[in-house]
């Protein structure tokens, strides 16, 4: 059963409910853009070789010339909205920015959206579908305006998803860096070495590290080494041997760091203090 069918030279929109499973993916590609809105059913989708098992009320963005296809996994009713359009249907000055979510870095890895789709996007699709009842002389203009509004909302969701993804990646990187620092705290450590080891620029490394911990990488190392040396001193080691064991190259640098943090000179008689 087909609920809605809008077909012009520049835009095609179908709202369809189907039944019956398929044995394989119907892979194909085309020279127009597609927004696939999955409403309900039991399907899987391939986009450039990556499989998606879409949740109800999620979307996939398909750029031109990208191989993709759906496989219906059961006889459950399969409801979807498919929207196809050509780039030239959009104003030329807005095409690049509005179509940017379809052309993400890393290929098809960021073209699936599940969170907030029903609440944030369904009304835009409904407005597009409402155009089927418009007079021909205003339907084309209304479709263009409403398509721009939909793509603007997708653009906003794309930016939000990208920010969350980058934040998660940064958090993972910082966790790996901290684990590495803790495992090698008494060894020589430089930003150049860390940059090479984690394949990340020194500037970006310090930026994400400060965002996550509130301090720089080297300041973190100094604090850890000072605390390590303090513990060794409390166990009876001399300040010189504790400093060397904690990774300080010379006693004077240890002395300055210790006094800056604890506000007194190193002494095995001093009780440990909380770091703030």
Contact (Cβ atoms closer than 8 angstroms) between residue 101 and residue 111: yes
CA–chain centroid gap for 29, Å, is 26
> Token pair for residue 175?
């966790």
Beta-bridge mates of residue 46:
51, 69
pLDDT for 147: 96
Per-residue pLDDT of the chain (276 residues; tens, 9 = 90+): 457 889 999 999 999 998 888 888 888 888 899 999 999 999 999 888 788 999 999 999 999 988 888 999 999 999 999 999 999 999 999 999 999 999 865 444 578 888 778 888 899 999 999 999 899 889 999 999 999 999 999 998 887 766 555 555 666 778 888 888 888 988 998 899 898 888 888 888 888 888 777 788 888 899 889 988 988 988 888 999 999 999 998 999 999 999 888 888 887 555 444 443
pLDDT for 275: 40
pLDDT for 104: 67
Predicted TM-score (pTM) of this structure: 0.61
pLDDT for 161: 64
pLDDT for 47: 87
Q: Which single residue is written with the structure tokens 């807005």?
A: 94
């Amino acid at each position: 059963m087909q609920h809605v069918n809008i077909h012009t030279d520049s835009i095609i929109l179908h709202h369809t409910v189907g039944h019956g499973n398929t044995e394989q993916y119907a892979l194909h590609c085309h020279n127009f853009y597609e927004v696939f809105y999955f409403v309900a059913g039991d399907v899987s989708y391939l986009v450039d070789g990556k499989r998606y098992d879409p949740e109800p009320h999620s979307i996939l963005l398909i750029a031109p010339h990208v191989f993709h296809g759906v496989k219906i996994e059961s006889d459950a009713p399969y409801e979807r909205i498919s929207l196809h359009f050509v780039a030239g249907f959009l104003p030329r000055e807005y095409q690049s920015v509005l179509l940017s979510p379809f052309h993400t870095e890393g290929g098809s890895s960021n073209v699936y959206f599940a969170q907030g789709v029903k609440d944030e996007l369904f009304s835009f699709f409904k407005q597009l579908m409402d155009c089927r009842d418009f007079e021909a002389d205003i339907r084309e203009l209304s479709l263009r305006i409403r398509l721009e509004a939909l793509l603007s909302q997708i653009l906003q969701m794309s930016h939000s998803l990208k920010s969350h993804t980058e934040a998660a990646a940064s958090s993972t990187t910082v966790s790996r860096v901290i684990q590495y620092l803790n495992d090698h705290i008494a060894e020589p450590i430089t930003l150049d070495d860390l940059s090479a080891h984690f394949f990340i620029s020194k500037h970006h490394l310090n930026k994400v590290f400060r965002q996550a911990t509130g301090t720089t990488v080297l300041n973190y190392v100094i604090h850890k080494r000072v605390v390590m040396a303090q513990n060794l001193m409390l166990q009876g080691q001399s300040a010189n041997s504790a400093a060397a064991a904690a990774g300080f190259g010379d006693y004077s640098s240890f002395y300055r760091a210790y006094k800056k943090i604890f506000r007194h000179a190193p002494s095995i008689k001093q009780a440990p203090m909380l770091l703030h």
